[in-house]
Structure formats: C-alpha cells, structure tokens
Structure 1
Amino acid sequence: MPVPTSRPRTLYDKVFEDHVVHSGEGDTLIYIDRHLVHEVTRLAFEGLRNAGRKVRRPDCTLVTVDHNIPTTTRKSFKNVSSFITETDSRAQVEALEDNVKEFGLTYFGMSDKRQGIVHIIGPEQGFTLPGTTVVCGDSHTSTHGAFGALAFGIGTSEVEHVLATQTLPQAKSKNMRISVEGELSEGVMSKDIVLHIIGVIGTAGGTGAVIEFAGSAIRSLSMEARMSICNMSIEGGARAGMIAPDEITFEYLKGRPLSPREGEEWEQAVAYWRTLKTDAGAKYDIEVEIKAEDIIPTVTWGTSPQDTVPITGVVPNPADFKESVRPNVVRSLEYMGLESGVPMEEVKIDKAFFGSCTNGRIEDMRSAARVILAAEKSGGPAKVAEWVEAMVVPGSGLVKQQAEAEGLDVIFKRAGFDWREAGCSMCLGMNPDQLKPQERCASTSNRNFEGRQGAGGRTHLMSPAMVAAAALTGYLTDVRKMMGSGSDKDAGLKITSYHDYLQPMDLPHPPIEPIGDKPSEQTSLQQAAAASAGLPPFTVVQGSACPWSRANTDTDLIIPKQFLKTLLRTGLGAALFWPVRYDIKTGEPVSDFVLNKEPYTRSQILVSTGENFGCGSSREHAPWALMDFGIRALIGISYGEIFKNNCFKNGMLCIELPAAEVALLHKDAEAGLELAVDLPNQQILRPNGEAPIPFDVDPFRKHCLINGLDDIGLTFQHKEAIERFDERRTQIWPWLDGVGYAKKGQKVVPLKTGGKKMEW
C-alpha cells in the first residue's frame, strides 16, 4: 500500500515498499500483482499438486506457451499432440495445458491469436501496469519494468510459491541509476543503447541492484524501445530494470483489454501512476552517466553480452584486456572463430534471426522493413544474400496480424525472409529453430552464450535494423550506410493502430483461496515441515572440491536448454556443464575436464575463482543439476542474483569470500585435497592444519538450510497479513482485481473454485 513517508525515495523504493506484506526476520514478504507462466516452469504445478494446494489468485496469473513450440505455419494445426513432433517439447506443452485446466487459469494456447512470447503478451493486453510487481519463471521478466513496474525473473520453486500464496520473500536490492543524456545519432536504436551500457558496466555491473534508466534519451523513447532496454538489464547483472511511467506510458496502455476501464477508474489509476517517479534528493547506491552521442550501432563479438564493439570497430586483441580475463577472451574468440584486428564489417554470417522478447514487437518489424525498402529504393542489395538463411518471428499472434495488415510480411518475403508464427524460436533453440555447429548468426535476441542458439552456434547480438542489413549483405553491416539521410521516417509504410487488433477480454474474479489448504489442525511448524517435501538439511558438507576458474559462468553452460524439457527435477547431474564436459559432436566425455577426473567425480563442493558464477537465465535447472551431481556448497567471489536465490531455495549454500581467500581454497581443490563447509559454525575447514576460513550467511537463510525448511511453509505463518493486504489492495487499486477487468456492458461470471478456464 502507498507508504506515507517524508524520506525522498527512488522509483524502486516506492514500488517495493508499497507491496510489503510482512517484514521482520529474513527476507521481506512482498505481494505479487501479476504472474506470467510458460511451459518451462510447469513443474511448479507438480509441487502444488503434491502438497494439495490450489492457485490462490487465478485472476492474477496469465499463461501461454512460447519456448518449446514450433514457429512453422499453423494452417494444419488441430491440437498440440499432433502438431508438435518433438517428444519432450510436446510433453511440456501438454502438461501445461492439463495444468491450466486443473487449476482454472487463463491460457493463450496455440490456437489463440493472442498467444505469443510471455513478455510481449503481458504489455500487449494491459496485464502489465505501472506500480505493479510482476514475476515470471524467466529472467527477462525485467522487460515489464519499462512501465514503472518492479518485474523480475524467478525460479520454479518461486513460481510455486506465488501460485500458492500470491506473495514472495525478497531481499531489498540496491538502487542504481543509469542516465543517458543527449540526442541519439541517426541509426541508433534502443538495442544499441543497452548493448553499449552493458559494454560499459559489464555483465556483473548491476549485481545486487535494480537499475532505473533515466535521462533525456530514455524519456524520448517509445514504450517498445523502453521494453527492449529493460529486457536486457538482466544481462548487466541487475535484479530488474525500471523506467518511470509518463504520458507515453499512459497513451500506450489506454484502451487495452486489461487496462483500467476508461472513466473514473482510469483517472484514479493515472493519478497514482503519476506519483511513480524518483523524489528529488533520493539517493542511489550506484550512478552511471552516459552521453547519447557516444553510442553508435553496436554488435557483440564474443560469448557474453558485455563483449561489445561499435560496428565500425575491429575484433579485439586479448592483450588489450586485464590478465585475469584474458583466458576468457581467448576462449571466446576461438569459439566464435574470429581473429583479432579483423574489421567487424568483414565478418560473414550464415543466418539472420529477427524476433525474441527483446525485439519481436511491431516497431521492431517496421524498423527492419524500412531497411529493406531503403535498399530497394537505392538500388543496393534488396534481397537476402544467397548464402544466408533469414527468418522473422513475430513476438505474438497479434503482432503477426498487425504486421500482415501493414504489409510487412510482403516486404520481408519479397526480400527472401522466412515469415514465421509467434514464439521464442531461435533465441534459445529449445524448439526446432537452431543453429548448426559453427554457423554464424546476426541476431536480435538477448544472449550470445556458447550454444545458446544451438550447440556450437555463433551469435552476434544487434538491433533489428542491423540484422536486416546483415541479412541483405551477408556480412555484419553498418545500417547507416543503407539508410541514407533517414529523412523519410516511415519509408512509405502503412502504420496502423494496435486498437484494431485487440479484443475485449474479461478475466472473472473467482473466490480467493485461503492461505494454504492443509487441515486447520496443523500448526505452522507442521505446515512448514510438510511443505519442505524432504528438503535435505544442511549442516556439514565435506569432500573433494571441484576447482573452477571461468568468469561469468552462465546457466546455459551449467545446464543447456535441451535439458530443460525434463518432466522431473532429478536426473540432470549427468548433463552438468555438458557443453564443456562432453564432445559436442560425439557426445563422449572430455577426458581432461575436471568433473570427468578423480577425485572430482564425487565433488560436493565447487570453488570458483571466476566472478559472477551462475549469471544468465532464471532456470532453476542449474541448481538442480549441481545438486543431482552431488554439489551442495559453492564458494566464490560473486554469483548471479537469481541463481544464488534459486540455490538457497533448493537447500544449497552459496558462500561469497574475498578473491584472495577463494584463491587459497581453489589451490587446495586443485591439489585434490578435501574441504569441509561447516554451516552451524560458519567456517570452511582446510586440510593439513591450515586455519579455517570464516564466512557470513544471512541468519534466516542459515536457519532454513539447517532445518530443511522451504519458503511456502514459512509464508503460511503470515496468512492473516496477506489477507489484510488483499483487502486493502482491492480498496486502493481496484483495477488490479479480476472483476475490475470487465469492460462496460460485459457480464462478469464468477468462477467456482477449481473451475476450468480455457482459451478465450
């Protein structure tokens, strides 16, 4: 609820504090307004079912399929069972469809025109609103922060927690502001801005913080451009990204199906939204200032989003980097098949991919189409290079429909692009759209990790306009050379309004489930014990420690996307570090890889001298794989924020120590010596009589780990506080309840608890 205070507050402070349900021991319990679900986190429903729980607020959850589905034509689509041929992908989608029936959730399936990438359909429908808390089992949930929402990715256990309680325990993050001031140069898009920012701060620059993007250059951007920037804030290590709402935001939301109803409710909402800006005098923990004129079209050269260079630049030389990161640079260049000093515009591509939750919106489509039209007008290359395969994947069915009404599909197809159906597609290659080993792709997606778009595939990130230019020339290309003066902004495109493609939607407000539905005679302690579902207590873990030195070890490396299709949380240990543990061509173990050698095949501890271990995706499969292998404790310098949180929720301990102390333990591990992590006494015991190394851990987390308690059981102890928050929320923000979604003249039919609600 709006918190009365005279203290100057940031945008993040305001939204976080307005959603506090309970604060005290441990993390703060905050209320979650909006929950988006896709098929990869369907295992959360298994947890609900096993514990006998229901979804507490079905009106606050919206479900779709995007990661696994094919993006080929659906003209012959009848049902998932007959259309999706890949067995594991089909099983994931079928399981999700069974779950939405059983738990009574609103679902945009493959036969629904509103189906699409989860981070595109939320804003599109007006489900994403300023001042809300938004979560999804996907790290790029940060997208929704463009509306002044606090939006972040969560793991599968947290998805289950939100479904059961509509709340989530969260630690308060640091405040960070990145200001981009000035006027952007011709040909520079929002993707160039965010790639430039990540290149400046690095993939760990925002660790532990929520970034507020500010400045005149940010304020001048459309909502679609703002979403692209917030989408990739996670690639800078941040928990979330936010932009203060303004008139551009309000105009975007007005009239959308799930936005507040026009009239008194709309005016009430906008009045509140106008308060969502940082107060004068509010303090930030970190501030970064960037000049807009310093940004030119940008591309990546390596296997991390921080590996950026202007398109006018050259492939970097490892000698120009700090000695500590030089080995990573060498490996990246070897993987990418690049030689230092080669101009980026001489890098030849094999494929071009245009889509993803970063750049799959109508504005992105138009920017790429303008490049093609400019090429046709100038007499330059106006067709996809003969050696290049290029595809355009709209972010949702409604984006596809609008693009076709504007004739964009005709422009793309005339140039030789493959025009696809909505889905995540080649962004992460969990579907049939994948790169082959050593194929090089110009991509609008958000990650260029090893194997991200296909085992051995090489990805260069860039803007939609830059991808279009690369597809036409067959090389990474400075789009400014193809656009001329840029004076003809619309280039003859037929621009339509989104209102023409949206349809009214009413999400009835079913009865709210009580907090927990275990028998009333159970005490809070009994509920917590039942909820733990056998979470193993953590006291002392002893054994051989695996030495690890790679910086920015991402979750795609820990467990690649092809293993995310499991229907169980077990059995992933054999696939741990698969891209470097096995030969990608033969599948045979790499003999000199650390986990394939004794005594490390039995490691229970991992010691990493590389910073930012576990960066990247929110996939909880990463800690599951480590746990299944046998690793219970990680010792390192720093961790990806979501990964660290997921480890704790799975009974694993992440210890952060200064680099010098980690180096000592890493040396012990390299020698094959045993270490012991003693959580009760908070110390790491070294061999040969060496002095133990103490470590810090949050007291509440320590209590939960030692006693094997999970968060859901603990949250049940605050049921009265959650129910009081629910009541106040309805009074202050009525447009956030399902019943408030009804449009004038529509009848609201309450659902019975457990009722079925299928495609609308």
Structure 2
Amino acid sequence: MTQVDHYPQTLYDKIWNDHVITSNDNGLSLIYVDRHLVHEVSSPQAFEGLRSAGRTVRRPDCTLATVDHNVPTALRASGVHDLSSLVTDPESHEQCAALELNVKDFGLSYFGLQDKRQGIVHVIGPEQGFTLPGITCVCGDSHTSTHGAFGALAFGIGTSEVEHVLATQTILQKKSRNMRIRVDGQLPDGVDSKDVILHIIGAIGAAGGNGCVIEYSGSVIRGFTMEARMSICNMSIEAGSRAGMIAPDEITFAYLKNRPLAPKGEMWDRAEEYWRTLKSDDGAKFDVEVDIPAVDIAPSVTWGTSPQDVVPITGAVPDPASFSNPDRRRAAARSLEYMGLVPGTLMEDIALDNIFIGSCTNGRIEDLRSAANIVRAAGPNVRVAPGVYAMVVPASSLIKRQAEAEGLDILFRRAGFNWREAGCSMCLGMNEDQLGAGKRCASTSNRNFEGRQGAGGRTHLLSPAMAAAAAIRGKLTDVRRFHYKATQYMVDIDAPPAVKVPDDPALQDTFPEVTANDIVQPTAGPAENTSGKVFRVLKGIAAPMYIENIDTDMIIPKQFLKTTVRTGLARGLFYNPRKDVNTGSPREFVLDRAPFDKAKIIVSVGQNFGCGSSREHAAWCLEDFGIRCVIAPSFGEIFRNNCLQNCMLPIELSAEECRALAANAEAGIELTIDLEREEIRRAEQPPIHFKTDPFRRSCLLEGFDDIAMTMQGGAAIAAFEQRRTQTWPWLDGVGYAGKKVTVKPAGAKTMEW
C-alpha cells in the first residue's frame, strides 16, 4: 500500500511492501493477511487458544473454512447431514466436529461435507474467487503456495501462527530472498505442468529454494492455463521455497471474472487496473536466477523418497554411487532400499499396485480431462490392468459435478477406475484411502516421502496423463505411447472458466453479511505478555542424525495428526523409522539407544531439516520427547517458525560445524546451548558461535507471547485496515455474491450455512 517507486521491484517486493504494517531494525515485519483458509487438522488447537485467552477472530469476512484432509471420499448419500454418519472414524469425527463448533462459535464461513462447494482448501479458494491477485494468503497447510499462481503472496503456516492470524489478521515474517525460474521454449510432446515442476525440483534440489520466494516466468509459464499454473506453484514448497508466484495476466483475469467472491462491475474495473501493475519491473533484482530450457523436459516420474528424485520416464533408476555428494549418496541408497528398487531398472519396467489421481496438485477439472483423454485414446474396451486398484478423487465437489456433467465419471468407471467424493484422500492417507505396506502407487499428488500415502507404501509422482497410462498398462508408462500431446494447455483467454455448473438454488452463500465499519477491533489482550516458557541455557545429550531432507512426515506420520490437543505426541516421533510397519516391533534407531534416548538436542548433518508439511505436530512431538534444540545446516522455513513458536531453538550452522558436533555427540560429549551468549560449548573444545534473530531471541529469553504483543499495536493495524479499505475495497467482503457483511462476535451459537 505504501508505494516504493525509487527502484525497480519484483512482484514479491511489491506485494510485500504493500502489506507491511511495521518493521523492526532486524528486518522482522508485521504483515497484514488478506485471506485466511482454515481446515480441520491444523486449526483445533488455534481456536482453543483463542477461547483460553478470551479473544475473537478479528476478520471473519477474510476467513474461509472447509473440511478436506481426513474426510471420507466414499460416495456420500444425499440428504444425510449427521456428521456421525458422514465421518465414522472417531478421531476424524472429533476434528471435523471441532471445526463445525468453532466456525459456529466464531461466526466463520464454512463449506461442510454436504455443502456442494466443499473441497480441498487450495482448490475452493480459487474456485470461489476468494483468491485474488495482489493479496497475502495463509493457511495451516504448506501447499498454500498454490494461490501464488494468481499473483498472490501465499504461504503455509503452523497452528500457533493460525491462532495469531485469527486473533490479529497479521503475521510476523522476515522477508525472503527473490528467486526467478524461467522456462522458455517449446515443450516436447507429452509434457505438461506436472512434468515441468518435477523437472525444476530435480534440477535445483529439494532445498534449492530455501530462504526464497520463487517467481516463475518465461514463455512456457505464460502459455499455461490457470489450473496448470496452480500445479506449478503448488509444489514450490517441495523445492524448499517459502512461496511460488506467477504474475497475473489476461489468463488470470478470464479465470476470475464472475466467480462468486470476485469483485463485480465498477469494483472489478478498479481491481483489474491494480492487478495489471503486479509484475516485476524491468531491472528488478533477483538474488537467484535459474533458466530451464523447455526442450530438456520430458514426461517425468520420481524413483525415490524425495520429489528431487526424478528422471524421465524413458530413464532408469540411478546408482547411488553416481552422486558426488556423500549425503546425497546416503539418501539415494536409503531411498532405493525403502522403494525396493535396484539401480539400472528401467522406469517403464516398474509394476504398480495402485493409481491415485487427485490432490490439490492435480485434482482439478483439466487434470481429470487429461487422464480421461488417455482412457479414450486407449479404446472403448480398455480396462485398468489386472491386479491394479485405481481411484479418481476430484479436488472439490464442484469439480466432481462438472466432471459428471461431461461424462468423465462414466468413462472412468467403465474402465474400472473407482470414482470418489472430494477430499485430500490418498495424497497423505489421513482417511481410509491408504496405501498398504510394500504396495507401489503411481500418484498425481505432491510428496513421495516415506510412509506418506501409508506406512511402508511406495510412491511415484507423475502427471494425471501418466497416471492414467500406468493404470491401463499396470506399469509406469510413457504417455507418448498413447500419442498424448497435452493439448489441454493451449489457451483461449476468451473461453469461460473451467468450472461451470448449472445454477442451483441449493448453493446458497454462507458468508455473513459485512461492512468495513462492523469489523470487530481487538482489545489490547491480556495484560500479561509472557507465555510462561523460556529458553536460556540448555545442557544435555545430543543425538546425531545423518539423513538429509528429514521431512515432517518422517518426524511424525499422519495418523498422529488426528488430535485436537498439543500433548502426548512423543509416541509418534520418528514412528516409521523406529517401528516395523508390519509388526510394530522396534527397529534400530538413534533415539532408542542409550544415551540418546535421553537426548535434549538433535544434531543433523543433512540439510533441510523439517522440510515438507506445515504440521506443527512435528515440533510438538519433539518437545514432548524432550528435544528443545535442533542444529542443522538448513531448515524447512515453516518448521523453523513452528519451533520458535514452541520455545524451541533451531540453530543453523555450517555443514562442517554440524559434522563436528555430531562427532562430539557420538563420543558422548554433552553440549551446552547458551542462547544469551549465542554459543555452543563442549568439554575442552572451543565454543561454536551462532546467530539468532534478535526479536526471536528476546521472545525465547523472556517468554514473550507474540499475539499479546501484536495486539498492543492494534491502533497501527486498524489504521492499516482503513487505508486498505480505501485502496482495495473489494477485499473487505464486498463481492460475496453482491452482499455486504456483518461480523458476528465470538460466542454466537447459531449460523445458517
């Protein structure tokens, strides 16, 4: 909102600068949040925190909730509204029931299981026009980066930050570096957006975007539809970046026009005029630049347990010895052991048990059409290969209806695919849709981590067309066998939006009526600004770990996320590496060996510790075990923030220093972590010095409560909101089907959906 025009700016610079409320001398800024998406897994503890502190939701008109992560996807009987009948798993039911109670109590808009707009949170936002160019958008889910396809700054946050946003409509952030990835040229036949993003991650690595926000550009990106662009931005987190962005253009505007929550009439004209300014200026500085020739990209598939483990479908499983980096060699060897693969195996010779087409990456209507094109090309009598179970899970209920209107469901069912209801499904396997131990799945989702789709399950990531081809042949398959050319990405900007459904009186807006003057302003909050938890000096045993890209699925698998509390999670810590997936009997793992079973510190030699999901449960289970400090060469950004929110200290050191500390740990030498002096002391050895953000250091040393401190700046937030209303009035709830909004205070017990 404050125009900085004396130097060329990137798209990220512009949106960041326009949303800064205050900044301190160390670069930590209080950022205003325009759009907040909420789901059942990462929100229960946040709402409970609000209740405990007697706080309200500051901007209900800027918040939208749905259930998606662990809801059943078996076909739902029409007319059934009883949650106990719709969600029978007790733990899943508890989380869904908690969200229903919370949206009622706090007056929030909600798409429940029987609402025809229910779906995966990152699909319904764009579908409804809740996602718009130029906004900041957050959600307790790492794949919030999806919304960056619209020229938005969108990123995942942890549960404590969800609470912070609910209470203050702001978030504390440090500005990331700018990274640009250009993809220019003509894509070869058979290549679509999923192949492009897999190729990018393979090229730069799972930690290649650490500390950066990526802007995707180039002729290939500009030629993609919005749904293809969303797939690209969706997997930015898999490249280690904080967010991914694409500048809005005519394709963006054509997609958004007439969506339910997009601005209308004169307000649309004002919005579009602003949106056209959202592009990187000529001469804008990028800290990192990567050029990807389109001609180098082939239909691709992963072979290991990281999205960076990718090769062309015509390639073979690599030999770990071929990697020059020793950490990469160890990771590759571990991956092949887990995946049950032998170096040199041709990818097209790998047989499959399951096929999953869906997820927030590839469950949109164009993805389903792409897969259906392969089924059509295979002929009228084609069937899913014997012994293969294939499922198609639309990413939203509206997409499901659109696909059925086009007859795609009949095409899939006739070929033997299982047609499902909307939800996250086998992407992470929090519901009944899980991959069995030792089973192999071709999946259009975004992660192939160990146990991601089910304990012991083996996942290969690929495009929807590739998944459909694999279902028919029973093996990983080159889509070019079916003369597939990805023609659905030839764009007609005058065409109507992809999701078009007949008008239905049952699709009633559930958004409360709002005006900007009715927005509830926060009080100063509790007089006490401390959380009661401090970190000053920690002395104890350190456990060494030699794995790179230790992801949050490894730290705590999905079955332990089905909780509404923050405690009792130590039993799930590194569960899959510690337990045999078939018998549950203990396996050899460092935290089960004395003296490391009493460890208070983890020293990771591998980079990118805590990559992957935004689940704060990863920090909670470490703390529950007794771990208060993690030392590593680099961290997943969301995991780092989640540690700090829980009074745990993440320390970033060089790889050499981490190896030295790991050797000390192996020798049984205790470490002393002194935050005040910012040094690590070891017996009779020179101390190792580290740096922490001064504000975060103060919070840890004094036990400050971020929310209470932020709420003391309520006047600055209110002043920002007044300027925001004047500059971007379409963000204040106007456009919700032409209605204005009244905010219901916390405690309102009734709400009609």
Give TM class, smaller chain.
over 0.9
Who is 2:214 aligned against? 211
1:671 equivalenced with 2:667 (yes/no): yes
How high is the TM-score relative to the length of structure 1?
A: 0.95
CA distance in 2, matches of 1:488, 1:741: 31
Q: 1:548 is matched with which residue?
A: 545
Q: Which amino acid aligns with 1:447?
A: R
Alpha-carbon offset, residue 563 of structure 1: 0.3
Deviations 1:276-302 (A, max 9, x none): 000000010000000111111000000
Change (3 A) 1:697 1:518: closer
In the alignment, the residues of structure 1 paired with residue 502 and residue 429 of structure 2 have an alpha-carbon distance, to the nearest angstrom, of 29
Out of 585, 597, 604, the position equivalent to 1:601 is 597
Superposition pairs of residues 388-407 of structure 1, within 5 angstroms: 388-407=388-407
| Distance of 1:115 and 1:448 partners within structure 2 | 26
Please say if 1:626 is aligned against 2:610: no
Please give the residue correspondences for 1:28-427 in structure 2 after superposition, counting only pairs within 5 Å. Answer: 28-41=29-42, 42-75=44-77, 77-261=80-264, 263-322=265-324, 323-376=326-379, 382-427=382-427
* Counterparts of residues 422-571 of structure 1 (less than 5 Å): 422-483=422-483, 498-501=499-502, 505=509, 507-509=512-514, 511-516=518-523, 518=525, 522=527, 526=528, 528-529=529-530, 532=531, 534=532, 536-571=533-568
Identity among equivalent pairs (%): 62
| CA distance 1:232–1:81, shift in 2 (3 Å) | same
1:612-647 CA-to-partner distances (Å, cap 9, x unmatched) read 110000000001111111111111111111111111
SS for the counterpart of 1:196 is helix
CA contact (8 A) 1:734 1:740 kept: no
2:318–2:344 Cα contact (<8 Å) kept: yes
1:500 Cα shift?
Answer: 3.1
- Contact preservation (8 Å) 1:559, 1:578: yes
Aligned Cα root-mean-square deviation (Å): 1.8
Contact 1:30/1:170 (8 A) holds in 2: yes
Q: Tell me which amino acid in the other structure corresponds to 1:57.
A: R
In 1, the alpha carbon distance for the partners of 2:716 and 2:70 equals 38
1:735 matched to 2:730? The reply is yes
2:212–2:242 CA contact under 8 A, matched in 1? yes
Q: Is the 8 A contact 1:109 1:759 kept in 2?
A: no
For the pair 1:578 / 2:567, whether they are aligned, the reply is no
2:742 equivalent to 1:750: yes
Offset at residue 567 of structure 1 (A): 1.7
The 1:417–1:639 alpha-carbon spacing in structure 2 relative to 1, beyond 3 Å, is same
Task: State the secondary structure of the residue aligned to 2:378.
Answer: helix
In structure 1, C-alpha distance between the alignment counterparts of 2:74 and 2:483, rounded to whole Å: 31
Distance 1:4 1:698 in 2: 26
- Is this contact kept in 2: 1:66–1:118, CA < 8 A? yes
Alpha-carbon offset, residue 495 of structure 1: 10
Aligned partners of 1:137 and 1:154 also within 8 Å: yes
Does structure 2 conserve the Cα–Cα contact (< 8 Å) formed by 1:21 and 1:31? yes
CA contact (8 A) 1:66 1:116 kept: yes
TM-score, with structure 2 as normaliser: 0.96
- The 3 A distance-change label for structure 1 pair 671 and 34 is same
> CA separation in 2, counterparts of 1:497 and 1:315?
37
Residues in 2 aligned to 1:545 and 1:374: alpha-carbon distance in whole angstroms: 57
Q: Distance in 1 between matches of 2:279 and 2:131?
A: 17
Q: 8 Å contact 2:70–2:92 — kept in the other structure?
A: yes
- Going from structure 1 to structure 2, the CA distance change for 1:737 and 1:757 (only over 3 Å counts) comes to farther
| Aligned-residue offset at 1:518 | 3.5
The 1:659/1:188 distance shift into structure 2, 3 A limit, reads: same
Choose which of 679, 695, 699 in structure 2 pairs with 1:700: 695
Q: Which moved more, 1:708-717 or 1:63-72?
A: 708-717
Q: Encode CA deviations 1:242-301: one digit per residue, 9 max, x unaligned.
A: 00000000000000000011x211110000000000000001000000011111100000
- Alpha-carbon distance between aligned partners in 1 of 2:499 and 2:356, rounded to the nearest angstrom: 24
- For 1:102, what is the secondary structure of its paired residue? helix
Alignment map for 1:9-24 (pairs within 5 Å): 9-24=9-24
Q: Is the 8 A contact 2:185 2:219 kept in 1?
A: yes
Separation in 1, partners of 2:751, 2:322: 57
Confirm or deny: 8 A CA contact 1:256 1:499 kept in the other structure: no
Aligned equivalent of 1:721: 716
CA-CA distance at 1:594 after TM superposition: 1.0
The residue that corresponds to 2:610 in the other structure is 614
Tell me: CA distance 1:483–1:702, structure 2 relative to 1, closer, same or farther (3 Å): same
- Tell me if 1:682 matches 2:674: no
Instruction: Give CA deviations for 1:562-593 in whole Å, capped at 9, x if unaligned.
Output: 00012210111122111111222222222x31
Output one character per residue of 1:358-381: Cα deviation in whole Å (capped at 9) or x when no partner. Answer: 00100101000000111116xxx7
Give per-residue Cα distances to partners, 1:183-208, cap 9 Å, x unaligned. 11121110000000000000000000
SS of 1:705's partner is helix
Structure-2 change in CA distance of 1:724 and 1:72 (3 Å): same
Deviations 1:482-528 (A, max 9, x none): 126788999xxx99953435757454226322223637xx4xxx3x2
Paired residue secondary structure (2:57): coil
Counterpart amino acid of residue 301 in structure 2: V
- Answer whether contact 2:365 2:498 (CA < 8 A) is retained: no
Q: In the TM superposition, what whole-angstrom CA distance separates every residue of 1:18-68 from its partner, at most 9, and x where no partner exists? A: 001111155100100000000001211011011100101000000000001
Contact in 1 for aligned 2:429/2:558 (Cα 8 Å): yes
CA distance in 1, matches of 2:10, 2:292: 20
* Total equivalences in the alignment: 738
Residue 419 of structure 1 deviates from its aligned partner by: 0.4
- Cα distance change on mapping 1:740 and 1:729 into 2, 3 Å: farther
Paired amino acid for 1:750: T
C-alpha contact 1:106 1:757 (8 A) present in aligned 2: no
SS in 1 for 2:200: helix
Q: Compared with structure 1, are the counterparts of its residues 344 and 500 closer, same or farther at alpha carbon in structure 2 (3 Å cutoff)?
A: same
Distance, in Å, in 2 between the alignment partners of 1:419 and 1:549 is: 42
Distance 1:488 1:198, change over 3 A: closer
Looking at structure 1, the residues matched to 164 and 656 of structure 2 have their Cα atoms a distance apart, in angstroms, of 38
1:646 equivalent in structure 2: 642
CA distance in 2, matches of 1:466, 1:57: 43
What's the secondary structure of 2:470's corresponding residue?
helix
Superposed CA offset, 1:324-362 (max 9, x none): 321211110011111111110000000000000000100
- Please report how far the alpha carbon of residue 670 of structure 1 lies from its aligned counterpart in structure 2 after TM superposition: 0.8
Tell me the amino acid that sits aligned with residue 69 of structure 1.
V
Q: Could you tell me how far apart the structure 2 residues matched to 1:604 and 1:497 are? A: 52
Q: Look up the SS of the partner of 1:18 in the other structure.
A: helix
User: Deviations along 1:734-758, whole A, 9 cap, x unmatched?
Assistant: 1001144342xx6x46344234574
**Contact 2:192-2:486 within 8 A present in 1 as well:** no
Instruction: Note closer, same or farther for the CA distance 1:209–1:489 as it changes in structure 2 (3 Å cut).
Output: closer
Query: 1:233 deviation in Å?
Result: 0.5
- The one-letter amino acid paired with 2:444 is T
Amino acid at match of 2:626: G
5+ residue gaps, structure 2: none
